[in-house]
Structure 1
Amino acid sequence: MGKVLPTASAVAGTAPGLARVAAGAAWQTAGWGLRTSGRAGIRVARAMVDQDVRVGLVRETAEAVGIVAGTAARIILPGANQVMELSDADYQAAGQEVVLARTREAEASQDSLPVLRRRGAELLDRSRDVWADEQGHPAYARILDELAPDEARMLLYLLQAGPQPSVDIRTGGPAGLVGSTMIAPGLNMIAGRSGVRYPERVPAYLNNLFRLGLVWFSKEPLPDPLEYQVLEAQPDVLEALHSVKFAKIVRRSVHLTPFGEAFGRTTLVDEDSAESAYPEHQAPVTGGADLPKA
């Protein structure tokens, strides 16, 4: 413990210790309390002549380096009649506390390499456990947080009703022999058939479901041509067809991915319905998925 000095010489006696603590905090924990070294220097200078500033500086320094309240009390006790000088041993202990705190913080980080390797090893251990009972994919909880209510209705409809027809409207006729321009991509009847609240958002909903790996967009049409006859009579399809002199229809389809089907069975239906037989969806193939534009 440092030498006890009279109150009259408290400022001069504690200034060196305060300066070392402030400099150490600014160097090792920049941004934790004292924002810039320039501001820290100004405050240290003011602390040499102002008791209140000195008390506040020590409090902030103690918090910045993770020192407990008792350590701060060893430096300055506000309102007391005497001040203790911070010894070299105290300063070294404070520095060690900073290093330990930062080490613990790094080890606790979910992105640190030791933590990632440990979690990977735990996954492999669980994969070898024949008695482990995995209840659904661990990503399901996160996906539920990223779904809109309308998107859940769309997924449930796709699960129960099966793949849905979709059409692109492109320019055709003589111009189509040289090049074809997209007029309206990915038109479908999912909004009306699933009963979503905001049908105008369906293209954006499909984008999100595609992003989450729950649906995909096949370039192949459904085998039943009647599905397309109903779709091609819809107002939005007719409007796109009549917007240019020559237009053509390209038939496509919307499917659940295997992951999306498993997600729907696990989260969107009850236990009894989860084992029911639902319409079959095609599995996506490489290069066979086109994301419709919102």
Structure 2
Amino acid sequence: MSLLGKVMPTASAVADTVPGLARVAADAAWHTAGWGVRSSARTGIRVARAVVDQDVRVGLMRETAEVVGLVAGTAARVVLPAGKQPTLELTEADHESTGGDIVLARTHDAETSEDSLPVLRRRGADLLDRSRDVWADEQGHPAYARILDELAPDEARMLLYLLKAGPQPSVDVRTGGPAGLVGSTMIAPGLNMIAGRSGARYPERVPAYLNNLFRLGLVWFSKEPLADPLEYQVLEAQPDVLEALHSVKFAKIVRRSVHLTPFGEAFGRTTLVDEVAAEAAFPEHQAPGTGGADLPRA
């Protein structure tokens, strides 16, 4: 009997001593250990030869790939449900680097997919169960984490400013005069001072920022002006507003306002201020009404 046979027990002897999944793990361990003992005896010589001999290098790579493929296949048998076959996915780069010996296994199970009907129904039932749990303590809306990933830094500054400063004035510049009585054309929509007052780094992107905040349900754009007309005096003297007014012979200003939605207020209190500030009284925003929100054009 060889030295390897004396040191390593047979595969059947190991497999017979353990049941179920442990047997699969023992089988993988035996193969891996056996390869390690055999390889270690000649590793030094082969590595030395691989430095100068390309064929030896290729052989070493293929032998390593075979072992990795064996372990990966054994792991797949452990984690895959009965009757499920793994699909093989190997990029061209992977194929070239391993000589085609390593196979990556991944399952595609329609019944366990996150968007399958059974999974969606189970998630819905779980939500209803949690809604009946009077002891459950929900710390925030589950959408908050996703929204944070979809906000630009400037947008966070704008939200914080709206939370602390309250609703902001906004104006549309439209054609006026006699022609405006029949049909008015938009010249410049949604002009405001949120960029400058919030310290936005890229003020030219504010229209796009507001579009995104509207998409996320954090702000809305009211057709109604703010109660205090003084809020509009500074805005209507801004260069962009004056430029729009002077671009046509007759122009008029339509006053509007920008508000946080109730969801946006809750989001700001939860994620943009500390716990002490979150309990403070912030300026009140109007809740959006039916037909009261207009999306500003970038």
What is the TM-score of this pair, normalised by structure 2? 0.66
For structure 1, the 5+ residue unaligned runs are 1-58, 72-94
Q: 1:265 deviation in Å?
A: 0.1
- State which of 202, 208, 213 in structure 2 corresponds to 1:209: 213
Q: 1:122 deviation in Å?
A: 0.5
Identity fraction in percent: 87
Residue 85 of structure 2 corresponds to 98
SS of residue paired to 2:197? helix
Residue 281 of structure 1 corresponds to 285
Whole-angstrom distance in 1 between the partners of 2:237 and 2:271: 34
Contact between 1:173 and 1:247, CA under 8 Å: does it hold in 2? yes
TM-superposition CA deviations, 1:102-132 (whole Å, max 9, x none): 9972232110111100000000000000000
Contact between 2:174 and 2:185, CA under 8 Å: does it hold in 1? yes
What is the TM-score of this pair, normalised by structure 1? 0.67
Contact between 1:168 and 1:182, CA under 8 Å: does it hold in 2? yes
Could you tell me which amino acid in structure 2 is paired with residue 217 of structure 1?
F
Q: Is 2:162 the partner of 1:158?
A: yes
- State which of 171, 182, 186 in structure 2 corresponds to 1:182: 186
For structure 2, the 5+ residue unaligned runs are 1-64, 88-104
Query: How many corresponding residue pairs?
Result: 210
SS of residue paired to 2:85? helix
Query: What stretches of structure 1 move > 4 A for 4+ residues in a row?
Result: 66-71, 99-104
Contact between 1:171 and 1:180, CA under 8 Å: does it hold in 2? yes
TM-superposition CA deviations, 1:253-289 (whole Å, max 9, x none): 0000000000000000000000100000000011100
CA gap of 1:118–1:181, structure 2 versus 1, over 3 A, is: same
Residue 247 of structure 2 corresponds to 243
Could you tell me which amino acid in structure 1 is paired with residue 194 of structure 2?
I
Q: 1:177 deviation in Å?
A: 1.3
Q: Let me know the Cα RMSD of the aligned residues.
A: 2.6
Q: Is 2:124 the partner of 1:120?
A: yes
CA gap of 1:270–1:97, structure 2 versus 1, over 3 A, is: closer
